[in-house]
Chains A and B, each alone.
Chain A
Amino acid sequence: MMELDQIINGCLLADRFCQKALFDRFSGRMMTVCLRYAKNRMEAEDLLQDGFMKVFLNLEQYKNDGPFEQWIRKIMINNAIKKFHKKSNQNEIASSDFLPEESVEPDVVSSMGEGELLSMINELPDGFRIVFNLYAIEGYSHKEVSEILNIEESTSRSQLAKARKVLQDKLMKFQKSYL
């Protein structure tokens, strides 16, 4: 198996074999990233292809100053956010506005597959989904999220709260059907 450095060097020389190797190595994880930010699989596939094109065309900008996966993940996220900016559907309103009083059994959630969790995220309105992904999964602070999305910090907080509400609602429904 080729070392990552060899693959990167090959990609810098536009070696198709190395480009394929890089894609094979990271496409699975990056597809998950794209699916989290996209509304559906088709959109996620577009994001993945665009993202990898950017990776190959801008690879010389990678300065080896951090994990490569982090760099490539950042490109995917930026690409998704740029698409999101284009859509500018930030004003969508959550379908559910109440916080359920009942709690969700952890066993229920643990038994849920990644695909089901992903589809729950997919169903979130665009603005909620992006904020939830950036804050809850990527670990950005509200300040960073507000800078990335060019929104107020308070907006980021409220969108996250609404996203959580929607997700909890969905989990409750799932729990009921599970039990």
Chain B
Amino acid sequence: MKNFGKEELLDKVFRQKLKDHEMTGTDHLWKGIESRLEDKRRITIGGGLSWKKWFVIFSLIFVGGFAAYKLQSISNTKKNKTIENEQNVMRKNNGIAQDNNKINESTQVNENSKLSSGENEIGKEGSVSDISFQSTQENTGGVVAETKAIHSKEGIASNSKKDLGGDKVYSKTRKHRNNTRQFIENQSDIISSSKFNSTIVNTIEPNTAGRLQNESGANALLSVPLSENTEDNSISKATTLLGSVISTTTKMPKRIKKYEYEDDGCNIFKNDRKRYYLDLYYSPELTSKSITAKNPVHQKYADLRTSDEKFAVSYSMGVRGSVVFRNGLALRSGLMYSVIKENFDWDSGDEEITKTVFNQQTGKYEITIETRDIISRSNNSYKFFDIPFYVGYEKELRDFVFSANAGLGFNLSSRQSGIIYENENKTYYKLGNGTDAVSNIYKQNVGVSALFNFGLNYRINQRFRLLIEPSFRYYLSGLTTKDHILKHNTLQSGVILGVRYKLF
């Protein structure tokens, strides 16, 4: 006869009866699981991607968007320029026709002069717009001729003295240099358009003196000799003029590209001085925490803290001033306040729940007493007050300013509050400002942090910009004291949202 005095047999009976036993009546539990799965699906955006993956996706979209924008803007700029130039040609032609009529009326031709004017013809043809049309007075002495060059609607006029006996040409530029440059830019575009090329051959007469001024004000890139002309050489001279114009225009953009321009809606002017800005910003952040044991013996404690202290929210906000030099180099500094918040559920005691259930089989009430843990939630927080120093670079685009900054943050003060595990046996520390326990664990000054941010700033108007910059911050030496058994590091990743105001 077998008996269960032997322990193994007892185990065996239980194992045989229970290991693969299947209970019934679990169907009603599915509804609870289903509703929890639904909740989870609503909360988890995009099928359970972690925030790190979302951050990578966001960054890729951001970089891709920037590249697409850049390509698009280059293509649009080219298209717009072509359209604008064509429109300018049309507009200016009308203006030239009127201006040339005026010029003709006021021109006094000396008996000895050999002036021939082709302006009217050009104006009528309506193709050559801003080439300097000259009305020349030539002294009978034959030495100096006073030349007036009028640049139609751009309002640029220059007085030139031309020594007919020599090669020297003098010029005074009356108008603003930038306007001249802008004019030249337009001019070069017009000249490079096919309309101009086709019409200029047809319309320029050999006795027309064309003069184009370059941006430094130097004269006479083009000069067609005043004529005793014949029809035979007129075409070849006009062709020479065309060739010169085209060769001039092909060189032009290289020089212009060296400068940055600002467009205030009415005028285009060069950024030739330092700019000063003031930023106000707020940055929602995600914190990647790492708690490691300095000695492997304490790894269990480190793991316990890592798993049970759950990230809740973190953010930073601040104010900073910037100076941006004309080459795009930027220096920034200010004040920054940041907070990391975590939730920690801790066992604050037990409670007993007494339940009375009527048992229909026995006809009696059964009293059950259950003991349950009271779980309390502690909202732990880590607060930092820093002075950041950035060195950055800014590149002006059409509607945006691309900005990248890197630097160091110097901590002024750090504070921690909440409850954490004291050790792996799950006793607790209460973090309170300034207590000895806290200062043994956490530094009250966490030292230097590495900072990096980049992004596109949208130009709202001349004074304000909207800041949208992904940012990263990492405290280099960690948050814990050197005597503590654990090392606590954080990497904050966020997006700076703010306003940049141009001071002057």
Q: Chain A residues in contact with chain B, CB under 8 A?
A: 14, 16, 19-20, 23-24, 27-29, 31-32, 35-36, 39-40, 45, 48-49, 52-53, 56-57, 86-89, 103-106, 109-110, 112, 114, 117-118, 121, 132, 135-137, 139, 161, 164, 167-168, 171
Contacting pair A48 B26 (CB below 8 A): yes
Known: A114-B17, A137-B11; 8 extra A-B contacts, CB below 8 A, are A24-B30, A27-B26, A28-B24, A40-B368, A106-B2, A106-B4, A121-B14, A164-B11
B266 interface contact, C-beta 8 A = no
Which B residues touch A28, using CB under 8 A? 22-24, 26
Contacting pair B373 A86 (CB below 8 A): yes
Given contact pairs A164-B7, A164-B10, A32 touches B47 in the complex (Cβ within 8 A): no
- A40 to B371: give the CA distance in the assembly, Å: 12
- The residue on B at minimum CB distance from A48 is B29
B49 interface contact, C-beta 8 A = no
- A114 to B22: give the CA distance in the assembly, Å: 10
- Min CB–CB distance B102 → chain A (angstroms): 80
Interface residues on B, range: 35 or more
Number of A-B residue pairs, CB cutoff 8 Å, is 106
Give 11 CB contacts A-B under 8 Å. A24-B30, A29-B23, A35-B23, A40-B370, A48-B26, A48-B29, A106-B3, A110-B13, A135-B11, A139-B15, A168-B10
Contacting pair B20 A29 (CB below 8 A): yes
- A163 to B419: give the CA distance in the assembly, Å: 37
Contacting pair B14 A117 (CB below 8 A): yes
Which B residues touch A121, using CB under 8 A? 14, 18
B426 interface contact, C-beta 8 A = yes
Which B residues touch A106, using CB under 8 A? 1-4, 13
B232 interface contact, C-beta 8 A = no
Contacting pair B26 A88 (CB below 8 A): no
- The residue on A at minimum CB distance from B345 is A86
Q: A interface, by DSSP: helix, strand, loop or mixed?
A: helix
Contacting pair B2 A20 (CB below 8 A): no
Contacting pair B26 A31 (CB below 8 A): yes
Indicate which residue in A16, A40, A48 contacts B37 across the interface (CB closer than 8 Å): A16
Which A residues touch B22, using CB under 8 A? 28-29, 31-32
Contacting pair A109 B13 (CB below 8 A): yes
Q: Chain B residues in contact with chain A, CB under 8 A?
A: 1-5, 7, 10-11, 13-15, 17-24, 26-27, 29-30, 32-34, 36-37, 40-41, 47-48, 347, 368, 370-371, 373, 426
- A29 to B41: give the CA distance in the assembly, Å: 27
- Min CB–CB distance A161 → chain B (angstroms): 8
Contacting pair B11 A136 (CB below 8 A): yes
Given contact pairs A16-B37, A49-B33, A106-B3, A136 touches B26 in the complex (Cβ within 8 A): no
| Most interface-central of B2, B4, B27, B32 (chain A CB within 10 A) | B4
Given contact pairs A49-B29, A164-B10, A137 touches B4 in the complex (Cβ within 8 A): no
- Min CB–CB distance B399 → chain A (angstroms): 41
- A94 to B5: give the CA distance in the assembly, Å: 19
Contacting pair A117 B26 (CB below 8 A): no
- A105 to B3: give the CA distance in the assembly, Å: 6
Contacting pair A103 B5 (CB below 8 A): yes
Which B residues touch A53, using CB under 8 A? 33, 36-37, 40
Given contact pairs A27-B26, A164-B7, A52 touches B19 in the complex (Cβ within 8 A): no
- A164 to B13: give the CA distance in the assembly, Å: 12
- A96 to B17: give the CA distance in the assembly, Å: 24
Which A residues touch B426, using CB under 8 A? 88
Which A residues touch B7, using CB under 8 A? 161, 164
Which B residues touch A29, using CB under 8 A? 20-23
Given contact pairs A32-B23, A48-B29, A86 touches B3 in the complex (Cβ within 8 A): no
- A166 to B214: give the CA distance in the assembly, Å: 106
- Min CB–CB distance B385 → chain A (angstroms): 37
- A53 to B24: give the CA distance in the assembly, Å: 20
| Most interface-central of B3, B11, B426 (chain A CB within 10 A) | B11
| Most interface-central of B15, B19, B41, B368 (chain A CB within 10 A) | B19
- The residue on B at minimum CB distance from A165 is B7
Which A residues touch B1, using CB under 8 A? 105-106
Contacting pair B14 A136 (CB below 8 A): yes
- A171 to B373: give the CA distance in the assembly, Å: 32
